[in-house]
Structure 1
Amino acid sequence: MKDFRKKQRSLIKHVEQLDEVNAVKLAAELLEDGMEPLYLLDLINQGMNRVGQLYENKRYYIADLIMAGLIFKQVLELDKMTAHFNIKHNNKIGSVVLGTVKGDIHDIGKDIIRGMLEANGFEVVDVGVDVPKEHFLKKYEEYKPDILGLSGVLTNTVDTMKEVVDAFAGAGLRDKVKIIVGGNHLTEESCKFIGADNFANDASVGVKVCKEWMNCTNKQGVNNNG
């Protein structure tokens, strides 16, 4: 047990230090040792959060965020991970249209929460990066998702996210979909300004919020904002 905990701490550290080879190797070992895939993803996410903090403190750069994202993707592609989540995918708990808003071409945060949402049983339609409000509206009309996810790394995406939410309100669709916004720079205040239902600085928190929404929806039979 002591060695198992040591491996867990080492995995978080490997991700934080962007040690791609050892992070992926150790993740595979932990899966072979019997670790649950969702628990493994939580460990990876802890390392990702440390990378995010180093980026916020200007010790890491965008290229480092991208490297962390590549490590995350490689872990998701491990055989035991794909086998587990392919089974999970047969029982969807909800649907999400997800994209990075216009003016931001970064996909790191979007890709991470997409992977974690899919791992937790959500069907995700990824509409890409630099997405204008009109395209979010179009994809909502096409797929009628339970949740709309807006991602952004840059601080000026707060205004762009608000434009998307306002566009949904103008189209009479705001009360038909839950909206979550994601990015390290977001706060309760900026979330209120944007007009979103909730926000997340952490992918695991974002997934938890989405799951709670779907639990309420499935119990009540309606998707109420609040």
Structure 2
Amino acid sequence: MGDDFKQMKEQVQAGEAEKLKELIKKALASKVAPMEIIEKALRPAMEEVGQKFETLEIFLPEMIMAADAMAAGVEILRPLLAAAGGEKKVGRVVLGTVSGDVHRIGKDIVRIMLEGAGFDVTDAGHDVPDDTFLAKVKELKPDILGLSALMTTTMQNIPRVIEALKAEGLRGKVKVIVGGAPVLSDWAKQIGSDGYGENAVQAVSVSKKLVG
């Protein structure tokens, strides 16, 4: 199966979702375990994509294509993993774009990268009211709450969510990571977040450290 896993990795990195799905279906028909496909093909492929993005060997369009291909492959495997008792997760994350902000592409890439790294991710969506974040934290008890903002006018809603967590006695129960185009590392520290991701790769790295 080594060659098959190699081909899957190549199709993820090339953003070839349909070809990847065919390879996965072929492997499943040959009784390859869904978890083995993730661990030996999909996850390593996205790790390499992340490394190449960090070193500027590839750029955002290629990363999005790879992330979309990865997501297509995971969709085939997810029900099989659930039926088999599920994949062992690194940690649980609730992710969303704050109130007033309808941007979603960056958040969606972070979600796919986190899932590829083994996190159980609940996507709260975009333009998420503060109360919804609080409700998700209470209900799901995540290890991490990820808050995204893509505009300077909406990034001010990030510290508002953090303050709301404090008011509800939840701040000590969840780590908060923040990101988005206008968000900077120093500002993230000033507002009391636990971590900052300049991009999806860093968001995964920070999340791993927080649950490690």
TM-score (norm 1): 0.66
Counterpart secondary structure, 1:172? coil
Q: Which among 28, 35, 41 is matched to residue 46 of structure 2?
A: 41
Shift of 1:162: 0.8
Q: Would you say the 8 A contact 2:178–2:195 is kept in 1?
A: yes
Q: Which among 145, 149, 159 is matched to residue 148 of structure 1?
A: 145
Q: Would you say the 8 A contact 1:109–1:182 is kept in 2?
A: no
Give the CA RMSD over aligned residues. Answer: 3.6
Supply the distance in 2 between the matched residues of 1:77 and 1:26 (Cα, whole angstroms).
8
Shift of 1:70: 5.8
Task: Flag the 1:82–1:167 CA change in 2: closer, same or farther, 3 A.
Answer: same
Give the number of aligned pairs. Answer: 184
Q: Which residue of 2 aligns with 1:189?
A: 186
Q: Would you say the 8 A contact 1:103–1:157 is kept in 2?
A: yes
Runs (4+) of structure 1 exceeding 6 A deviation are none
TM-score (norm 2): 0.70
Q: Which residue of 2 aligns with 1:123?
A: 120
Letter in 1 for 2:68: K
For structure 1, list consecutive stretches of 5 or more residues without a partner in the other structure. 13-21, 53-64, 216-226
Counterpart secondary structure, 2:94? strand
Deviation track 1:134-186 (CA, whole Å, cap 9, x = no partner) reads 11111111111111111122233321101111111122211111000122332
Shift of 1:200: 0.1
For structure 2, list consecutive stretches of 5 or more residues without a partner in the other structure. 1-5, 25-36
Task: Flag the 1:86–1:197 CA change in 2: closer, same or farther, 3 A.
Answer: farther
Task: Flag the 1:181–1:27 CA change in 2: closer, same or farther, 3 A.
Answer: farther
Letter in 2 for 1:214: V
- State percent identity of aligned pairs: 35
Deviation track 1:194-223 (CA, whole Å, cap 9, x = no partner) reads 3211110121221122122212xxxxxxxx
